[in-house]
Amino acid sequence: MSLKYGLLGFLSVQEMSGYDLEKSFSNSIGFFWSAKISQVYRDLHSMEKAGWVQSSEIVQTGKPNKRIFRVTDKGREELENWLINYDMKNDFEVRIGILMRMYFSANRPKEETITLLERFRMTCQKAMDTLSNVHNELEFKDIESYTEITLSYGQKYYNMQIEWCNETIEKLRNMN
């Protein structure tokens, strides 16, 4: 999937600056799709060239001017086509770094592997804590039920990873 469709999705709800879009990504869907500010502006530029979005400059006193983006009819049509014509094969292209490390850790000291898993588990727990706060900071209340669906997925995903870490650590500790 392209970041462009996430940008179109946010812009279909309200007009925003590139900075606001990056903030919306990190405050709402950042647990499953991240966006760096440089990527946001790069894609907004190409989307504007393609006619998917338009922008206007807001003159500000005492700080830099702000460019606000809005989705066009062509952009709404592009978003609708993307939502309808979904190719699921990309969702099954999995790259999980911790599993690659585990696969090749047989010759490593067991305690180092356990420490790695404990750090990974702690990172998953922090992500879970972030998800529990996301609901309270929702910017788009009218799409709350769909947000609940994605948050539920994120919570189950991180819970599964935490359970896997616990099981794997126990197995490693019981190995001779």
Higher pLDDT: 153 or 53? It is 53
* Interstrand relation of 66-71 and 53-58 (parallel, antiparallel or unpaired): antiparallel
pLDDT digits (tens, 9 = 90+) for 79-119: 999 999 887 887 787 788 999 999 999 999 999 999 999 99
Going from N- to C-terminal start, the domains of the chain cover 3-91, 96-174
pLDDT at 133: 75
pLDDT digits (tens, 9 = 90+) for 118-158: 999 999 999 888 887 766 565 555 566 787 788 888 889 99
Architecture of domain 3-91: Orthogonal Bundle (1.10)
pLDDT at 136: 59
**Average pLDDT value for residue range 12-21:** 93
| pTM of the entire predicted model | 0.74
The 53-58 sheet, strands edge to edge? 16-17, 66-71, 53-58
63-92: burial string, b at 16+ Cβ within 10 Å, e else: eeeeebbebbeebeebbeeeeeeeeeeeee
Residue 127 tokens read as 């992500």
